[in-house]
Amino acid sequence: MEIRIHSQAGTTETFVQNDPALVSRLVDAIQPSRAFAADVITVAGDYSVTTFVTARINRIDVLTKEFADWKYPPDIVAVLELSEEEFRERSHLNDPARLEPRRTHKQAGQSALVFVEVELVGGTRIFLAAKIKVGLPAERLQRLRTLFAAPAVHFRLREGGGAILNLKNLVRFTLNPGPDVTPSDAWPAHHQPDGIQSRSGAEPVVLE
């Protein structure tokens, strides 16, 4: 078993445990929704004890082949981490002509694949693919807000195991495609891809 703890500053500390009984106990003890509830997280080995200030942790990875599935909310089927390259390819960000319009209507109960980019304090970006069940129109925005208002969110890792994000350190999340229901307080503007110059048409300000 390997545990990786990622800080806001971008550093990562790695801890290992090879005793099957202790691995099983650790996996059973970790509850994603409460992973960041305490003020500190302490890891004790044979030769050292390390304590982290929870508010300064962005992410915890738990890598093990004996991993038990953590439960998702009822309308989320599965969430998997992607590389940035795979994320851009599968979401069609590399080919804007193939992007799925946000207002494409989906029936309640249908399955949908949503690509999510998450940015945390310190500039860390995480790329996810989520399979969801589409809810009723009146519930869609509320469910989305409830999910990212939670203290933590978790997903599966390709290497085996799972990761937990500290949503108290969330800066932004972007959905592709976004929900077909528009928040009443949303600003009406399109997301400009990286590397594209602004076309606002405004003249530059020159100080005499």
For residue range 32-72, list pLDDT tens digits in order.
Answer: 999 999 999 999 999 999 999 999 999 999 999 877 678 88
Question: The whole model's pTM is what?
Answer: 0.84
Q: What DSSP line would sit under 7-44, residue for residue? A: ETTS-EEEEE---HHHHHHHHHH--GGGTT-SSEEEEE
pLDDT per residue as tens digits for the range 67-119? 767 888 878 888 999 999 999 998 888 887 777 766 666 677 778 888 999 99
The 3-state DSSP class for residue 156 equals strand
Neighbours of 143 (CB within 10 A): 16
Average pLDDT, the chain: 85
Instruction: Specify which residues 132 forms β-bridges with.
Output: 76, 112
Distances (CA, A) of 196 to 98, 172, 191: 18, 20, 11
Q: What DSSP line would sit under 61-86, residue for residue? A: EEE-TTPPPPPPPTTEEEEEEE-HHH
Does the pLDDT at position 200 exceed 60?
Answer: no
Average pLDDT over residues 12-24: 94
Of the chain, the percentage scoring pLDDT greater than 90 comes to 50
Q: Are 167 and 151 in contact (CB under 8 A)?
A: yes
Q: Are 164 and 152 in contact (CB under 8 A)?
A: yes
